[in-house]
Amino acid sequence: MTQSPVELVIFDCDGVLVDSEKICVKVDAMIMADLGCTFTEAEIIERFVGSSTEVYTAAVEERLGRRLEKGWQQKYEHLYEAAFEAELTAVDGIAEVLKSLTTGVCVASNGDHAGIRRSLEIADLTNHFENRIFSAADVRRGKPAPDLFQHAARSMGVQPERCAVIEDSAYGVQAARAAGMRAFGYCGGLTPASRLEGPGTVVFDDMRNLPELLATATA
């Protein structure tokens, strides 16, 4: 098959650009305990890393056996903000990668715009993505649906087959495959390689290897 060059690299944010997943898992566990339902950290990693707010809420409601009020997460936002301000850093090697890439880049995350921008600012990565930040709030369905990645590609004027998606969650690589894009599953964080493997997906554990992987990727 003729190789189709990558023209756009679409990065997830949490766990790919910023090393936030461990922080989020700890805060999630605190929130769930406060709500009166218990999830182990292993359950949180498997069920919620990379998921949408709808998936997260539905699982909590199922465990609680009751509905949560609309906007229930807002009163807990300060916990994430405080933890991020104190602990958040860029993923090891990502700053060098972003400086070296010659293709277009953008961010497509299930987080909201304010949260994505806050994370990028704390990690000093904002300058790489000005006006190229896409959120699940922009589309009808977040990951694992392909909508967000398709929206990002359209907005950037690039065909799906010429896009590469960098993800660290099972939901993310599933969305990339559904969008007809090449998926690169980063397993250097919390998600094991086995959760990322699948058709059209390259799994790697060192972010510094990404430029070479992109250069040799096939359509």
Per-residue pLDDT of the chain (219 residues; tens, 9 = 90+): 456 899 999 999 999 999 998 898 899 999 989 999 888 888 888 888 777 778 888 889 999 999 999 889 889 989 989 999 999 999 999 999 999 999 999 999 998 999 999 999 999 999 999 899 999 999 999 999 999 999 999 999 999 999 999 999 999 999 999 999 999 999 998 889 999 999 999 999 999 999 999 998 754
Three-state DSSP at 65 gives: coil
What tokens appear for 54 in the block?
């709808």
Q: At what angle do helices 21-35 and 41-48 cross, to 10 degrees?
A: 110
**Is-contact 85 77, C-beta < 8 A?**
no
Domains and CATH numbers, the chain: 8-20+89-216 (3.40.50.1000), 21-86 (1.10.150.240)
Give the dihedral sign, CA 91/93/95/101.
Answer: negative
**Is-contact 10 106, C-beta < 8 A?**
yes
Place of tokens 């995350």: 109
Cα–Cα–Cα angle for 190, 193, 195, rounded to 5 degrees: 85
What tokens appear for 73 in the block?
């997460």
DSSP state of 145: S
Spacing of C-alpha 123 from chain mean position: 15
Whole-number pLDDT of residue 218? 53
Of 45, 13, 26, 6, nearest to 136 by C-alpha is: 13
Rounded CA-CA distance 61/96 in Å is 41
pTM: 0.85
